Amino acid sequence: MAIKTVPTQPFNDQKPGTSGLRKKVTVFQKPHYLENFVQSIFDSLQGYKGQTLVVGGDGRYYNRQAIQIILKMAAASGFGRVMVGQFGILSTPATSCIIRKYNTFGGIILSASHNPGGPDGDFGIKYNISNGGPAPEKVTDAIYASSQSLNSYKILEAPDVDLDKLGESKLDNMVVEVIDCVADYAELMESLFDFNSIRKLLTNGHFRMCMDSLHAVTGSYAHNIFEERLGAPKNTVINGTPLEDFGGGHPDPNLVYAHQLVEILFGENAPDFGAASDGDGDRNMILGRHFFVTPSDSLAILAANAKLVPGYSSGLTGIARSMPTSQAPDRVAAQLGIECYETPTGWKFFGNLLDADKATLCGEESFGTGSNHIREKDGLWAVLFWLNILAVRQQSVEEIVKEHWQTYGRNYYSRHDYEEVASDRANTLIENLRSAMPSLKGKQFGSSQVEYSDDFSYTDPIDGSISQKQGVRIGFTDGSRIVFRLSGTGTQGATVRIYLESYEPDPAKHNLDPQDALGNLIAIADEIAQIHTLTGMEKPTVIT
């Protein structure tokens, strides 16, 4: 088999965002586009010759073609072995699990997470390092730098590998091992959670759950774990067949896009527990009967109940949350006498804290929760954690959340997204806020007074690296906050995200609709940032 060196020219838009490189499928299909980025990844790495790479994706359109290209390029660059998920499938958490379990050099994940798929949808590629986590900024910066000076790439001329058949084959000198995409991950889950208690709960004849895989990657995992290993009835998992276009849906587990599940859980004769996960299986949404658990509360509740779960019964070393996530977990950390770290948005910032054992649980308001068991957020892990708590406490989701608020107070929280805003308008909005920052301190808006205003900057406590301009924060003297930032994962125009939070200690006031409880802050956010005027939009595209 011959190795071909193909001349190419740099693309100037290959800078990885919050989570890898995400573009329209049609962009990735441009001649050399994917190949350039893959070569840039390999060129930025050192010492990988003869080593093992893990490759898999969420099964979206272009997944299989991309995997064939990557396999042939990995062989041409001198990798010794590639472990690839059967049918090209590996969820993001399963990839992280496999990298760690088999001590591989790294992994490539093909996904645009919760973004829609199909020929007109999105595609993405992300490199994970040997700890199983997303490449940190110094690596993604190096990848981008390589992409900007690239003039050729190497690819093996060879027939496609059969991705459907388990077992080993060879591409030139490199071994390709097609692996079961579920087994290693399911075993890890069995080692963390009390499967016997969860099985009892799921088969006791009255508890019912519904898991919505949104036609995305967790279908394969959820059928195996909930229905086969834990004995839940066959119809427990809905939309459980991974499809290349996610059935035309938007595989994002929130109240807007997981509407079928929401209708079931808020309908008549609703099940006790509902959950959904996203395109690549790292996000989760948790619902009780007629009840929604905000992701920030979910993290706080998992932390407060961790001692009930075998994998965490010896206690937590710390908690970490992204800056825009509500401060509910901070209250649990204070009570447990452990640290709560505040990091910029994006899972890559948790890696160092987890490696140094400074944090055990991590989470983001964007439906991401996880722990030190891998180095990615993990949707089904969060679902199993909740089931384990429900099995031990024998209470409803609503009761558990409300008791939590009684103990710690309630952090009312909401995120408003304005999607597909023209980039120049979105940039103006953020620039205006940055210029207004110095004059905001002490300013009165109705009954709220600004205590501080800054652009969040983070110094990693382990390696000292500094990440600046991570979101404009406006804090008020009563503890409430507004945060503004631009999305780093969108592929069309810009998305402005506005995060709103206020704290209510009084249990008599815990039953408000968050949009009402946060009404004042929502109005202040518009007054300060002129959101409606600048975006030309009446209301947010998505409220979570």
Smaller CB distance to Zn ion: residue 283 or 321? Answer: 283
Q: How far is the CB of 82 from ligand G1P (least distance, A)?
A: 25
Q: What angle do CA 37, 43, 45 make, to 5 degrees?
A: 110
Smaller CB distance to ligand G1P: residue 104 or 343? Answer: 343
Q: At what angle do helices 295-304 and 379-393 cross, to 10 degrees?
A: 50
Question: Has 371 been annotated as catalytic?
Answer: no
Contact between 213 and ligand G1P (CB under 6 A)? no
Rounded to whole angstroms, what are the CA distances from 265 to 208, 223, 286, 287, 310? Answer: 11, 20, 10, 7, 28
Which residues of the chain form contacts with Zn ion (CB under 5 A)? Answer: 113, 278, 280, 282-283
Q: Which stretch binds ligand G1P (CB under 6 A): 117-125, 308-316, 344-352, 511-519?
A: 344-352
Rounded to whole angstroms, how far apart are CA atoms 187 and 182?
Answer: 9
Rounded to whole angstroms, how far apart are CA atoms 84 and 56?
Answer: 6
Contact between 140 and ligand G1P (CB under 6 A)? no
- Kindly state the tokens that stand for 538: 């009446």
Q: How far is the CB of 407 from ligand G1P (least distance, A)?
A: 27
Smaller CB distance to Zn ion: residue 97 or 521? Answer: 97
What DSSP string runs through 272-338? Answer: SEEEEE-TTS-BEEEEETTEEE-HHHHHHHHHHTGGGSGGGTT--SEEEEETTS-SHHHHHHHHHT-
Bridge partner list, 341: 320
Residues 497-536 contacting ligand G1P, CB under 6 A: 497
Smaller CB distance to Zn ion: residue 212 or 282? Answer: 282
Q: Which does 280 bind (CB under 5 to 8 A by kind): ligand G1P, Zn ion, none?
A: Zn ion
Contact between 322 and ligand G1P (CB under 6 A)? yes
Smaller CB distance to ligand G1P: residue 288 or 379? Answer: 379
Q: Which stretch binds ligand G1P (CB under 6 A): 142-150, 288-296, 381-389, 481-489?
A: 481-489
Contact between 467 and ligand G1P (CB under 6 A)? no
Q: Which does 253 bind (CB under 5 to 8 A by kind): ligand G1P, Zn ion, none?
A: none
Q: What is the 3-state secondary structure (H, E, C) of 220-273?
A: HHHHHHHHHHCCCCHHHEECCCCCCCHHHCCCCCCCCCCHHHHHHHCCCCCCCE
In the set 113, 220, 322, 371, the catalytic residue is: 113
Do residues 479 and 450 touch, judged by C-beta distance below 8 A?
A: no
Residues 352-381 contacting ligand G1P, CB under 6 A: 364, 366, 368
Contact between 346 and ligand G1P (CB under 6 A)? yes
Q: Is 321 left (phi over 0), alpha (psi -120 to 50) or beta?
A: beta
Q: How far is the CB of 325 from ligand G1P (least distance, A)?
A: 8
Burial (CB < 10 A; 0-12, 13-18, 19+), residue 24, is: middle
Q: How many CB atoms lie within 10 A of CB 382?
A: 27
Q: Which stretch binds ligand G1P (CB under 6 A): 44-52, 200-208, 299-307, 487-495?
A: 487-495
Contact between 20 and ligand G1P (CB under 6 A)? no
Smaller CB distance to ligand G1P: residue 346 or 514? Answer: 346
Residues 264-303 contacting ligand G1P, CB under 6 A: none
Q: Which residues bind ligand G1P (CB under 6 A)?
A: 18-19, 113, 322, 345-347, 364, 366, 368, 487-489, 497
The catalytic residue positions are 113
